[in-house]
Structure 1
Amino acid sequence: MTDTSNTFVAKSTIKAADLDHRRKINFNIAKYNAVVPKGKEQFAAVDLARERAKNAKWRAIETLDQRLEEFERNFTSRGGKVIWAETAEQAIEEILAICDEKNCKTLVKSKSMVTEEIHLNKALEKHGIESIETDLGEYIQQLDGEAPYHIVTPAMHKNKEDVARLFAKKLGTDPNLTPEQLTLVARNILREKYTQAEIGVTGANFIISDIGGIAVTENEGNARLSCAFPATHIVIVGIEKMIPSILLDNGRTNILQNPKQRESLYCIRCGACLNACPVYKNIGGHAYGTTYSGPIGSVITPNLKGMEDFKHLSYASSLCGNCTEVCAVKINLHELLLDNRHESVEEGLVSFSEKTAWKLWKVASLKRGLMNMGGGNLKNKLVNGLFTGWKKNRSELEFSQKTFNQLWKERHNL
């Protein structure tokens, strides 16, 4: 196992056994699930809307090279400047150059997963530039020194008491403030930062090629303020956000050139697959150790950052298909996870012990005599002796005293 997979297993084991943590994230996911039916009422035909969304993304991804060139022409003609960054390092270099040119001391950011992907805040801090998250959830996480926990709900693992204690510790407020009062505290602080900032940074939900437009959707008003107050607006966006700035590749063309995995670029970062995933509900976001967690993160991260170090994420799934069922753009997520597993095996990224174990399992499964050999007690001792780690937080594996084959023969006198 690699260091990243060992870390993932260790963190997952801790979080899966943390009942208070599971209670918090399941409470927040339940609140989300409760309003989903009301959201669907906005559509006359939800499945048709999902199909149309998928088709729009399909058309854009299949002609991405043409769309990107068209966007650059139209965006430039409107007075903007497009900067291409192949890697996270190049993106950081370009952003720092703009900050230096504008003599930037303070920068405000709206919620953006792609800025998390390139670790923008750390880079700015290193160069003495104050970077302030203006999304409330992101602001809470920044105060706590933590990465976002969820691609839509950054502080999902915290309850109102956690936030009140954090504000009291970091901002000197009353630890008994209500959620409304806490929000007002954050609002007053952030309003002042908007007026001080020389640069505003946002991501984009979509980039629109035929008009050279940037589309940003939000529900707090912070993105509009981040665009409007500072004199300079930087948009950092992955190239896959195109539909019929600094444009970031950072591994996306690796996915684009894989016909099977290309579908994952349709993702609109809605977070529905995370909320539906039984694995995410048990271990949460930080255990993944990546910018993108949950099913979509497990699909794209091995392709963005390397199969060898991140193949284990493709196995962090029961393949139940809940993620595919709720995906807004109908990405076959569970099939892509399975494809990642196949690819890791084809690349030879399987340990000798795992290969040997599966070979022995195959031999035993193909020979009924071996399957029927020994009673349940013997099998229990053998298997539980081999898989000692299983019993740390779970009951022991238990075999029936007789196999199904033996029971069938007895029932039918065979």
Structure 2
Amino acid sequence: MSEEDITRGHELYLRHLLLLEQAAPESLKAVIEREVSKRGKSLAYILAERKDTFNKYHNAEFRQLFKGEEAITDIDLWDTVVLCTIVQVLFDSHLATVEREAIKIIKDQRNNLDSYAHSASINYKTFEEKWDPLNSALLELITGIHDEKRKFECTRMIHSFKSEHIRVSLDLIKRIKQTNDVKVHLQMVIQDKVAPKIHGDMDETCDKDEKDDHKNPVFTESLRDMLVYVGDPAILTCKLNVPENAVTWRHDYKLVEQTETLKFLTDRCAHWLAISCAELSDTGEYSCCCGRSSTKSFLQVLEKRLKIVKDLHVATIEPDVRENMDIVLICKVNLHTSTVVWRQNGDEIISCNRRLSSVNVLEHRLTIKKAQFEDEGDYTVHFGSVSSCAKLVIKGTSMLA
């Protein structure tokens, strides 16, 4: 194995690993803490109340959560799967539908991550298909975090692991490929400080060769142009050669003030402007100024493009689709939308008692009750310019087109 063997796929695997095993747990911990605080009981007490449920249906998690009769409540010891299971068992009925869907997406993707561990590689198409629903899920859970510092840390992780530079070395990939254990992979990645902006960097200190002259600060790391979509976080980062200097931020030459969704943060030499949920109006030129020094960049916010996550298909328990059966056609997208048109053989379907369209979060359904032979044909669901098709055959099996 040589340096040339380190591929884009290895980098994407590490990004996906960090999103699921470092960013996701922070969001899930916040949900648990929020729900526990509503009940006036300790987490240990709530876990003990459902001990039998964990033992019977979630034995792997049970062994991590209980030692004899005592519940282990060190939340920082729990991985993503355990955290998801705890939320589902203890608080599922108290969560909003979008939160339940978000947790299911995170858990499913984390379980699926094991299938990529042996190669430590994910192709670009797969990564992008997973990223849209995972990003939406993480951002949905973050909205419920009341601690602004924690919300920023979660947002910064998501942005950094997806978009910022990470270091992938030959030595790290060799060590990762020696085991298929995802938890061990995470430990290696953090130990190697793969994401310098999150894990820190022994070389990432203020320039000690520069005089600590607060009257003449210099930006050693400039702002960078960025493109995000509506609803995504946007974090602008720059760095001075001296610590603790006050800076001012401007948007299209106007002084920027902090709001509920826009925060300034400083850590020694590093300065951030963090927008938790970007809007079209956030587009423009941003500058950070300190004394006579300044740095600027352009933030472009675009409307997010709707994508088909799961193609239109006929969902039946039985392998054959027969007359008088209730049939459901399902298509899943990456964004919430009410702009939906269903068609059969090119003709628009109007919802009625027998043919009913519905939506559950991101999943769009057409239910056909007591299907008749005239219900056969080519079905299409349109979301504006995006569409997906399937063929329904009543005489035997259902085939996808």
TM-score, normalising length: structure 1: 0.22
Name the structure, 1 or 2, with higher relative contact order (CA <8 Å, separation 6+): 1
Judging by fraction of residues, say which structure has more helix: 1
Higher strand share: 2
TM-score norm. by structure 2 comes to 0.22
